Amino acid sequence: MHPSALSPDSVPTDLLVQRCLDGDQQAWNKIVNRHWRKVFNIAYKFVGKSDKAEDLTQDIFLKIYKSLDTFDRRANFQTWLFSISRNLCIDHYRTIRREREVIDHRVDTAEIWHADKKRNAYGDLEHKERVALLRTALKQLAPTLRKAVIMRDLREMTYHEIAKTLNVPEGTIKSRINRGRTELTRQLKQLRVQQDDTHLKQKTLAQAKPSTSNTGA
């Protein structure tokens, strides 16, 4: 039987890979359709949300497509595909963890929008100071960077949702978010230094102020 006479589901993967490398876009679509669900399931185990797993699966297949010429035909394609998928998911998890660390653990971005009614007076004051600090730092960012960081880290929108909302390529969105987080961290550190200096000056002035009990002696 001639390969062209094979039904889409019966075409060997190796043949689809070769067709894809020859520039056949339909062959790549068949590869994606054949393996999408299993790759999605792998991604979902790492991110736990369908929309984020969808984005991650798209990224995985894009990277697979770009590295398709490195596939050793002597190996099993599905094993190769799933191995790369898991490695990319692990890389994604590590990247997200580093991104969250960049947003400074002492400032919970969710607290900007949600108040905790159980806080005591001191805790409420500390909370307000932390939120005020983060808001001040955010204002120092360029508008495009600030908007990208807020949409990603505060509203927890996916890269795809942000790109669609702003009508900007996902690559540009990711770049803005990375730059925004880096600048936000720098601003937070600078503001904390200024805040600590202010607190130190206030403490020094308070200690230097003469005690009223000793006046008029």
pLDDT over 90 at 40, yes or no: yes
What pTM value is reported for the model? 0.47
Task: Judge whether 137 and 187 are in contact, CB under 8 Å.
Answer: yes
Are 82 and 39 within 8 A, CB to CB?
yes
Q: Is the pLDDT of residue 41 over 90?
A: yes
What share of the chain has pLDDT > 90, as a percent? 16
Shortest CA distance to 163 belongs to which of 151, 178, 179? 151
User: Would you list the domain boundaries of the chain?
Assistant: 9-99, 109-202
How far is the C-alpha of 154 from the C-alpha of 158, rounded, in Å?
11
CATH node for 109-202:
1.10.10.10
CA 216 vs. chain centroid, Å, equals: 64
* Mean per-residue pLDDT, 130-149: 85
Q: What is the pLDDT of residue 119?
A: 44
Q: What is the CATH number of domain 9-99?
A: 1.10.1740.10
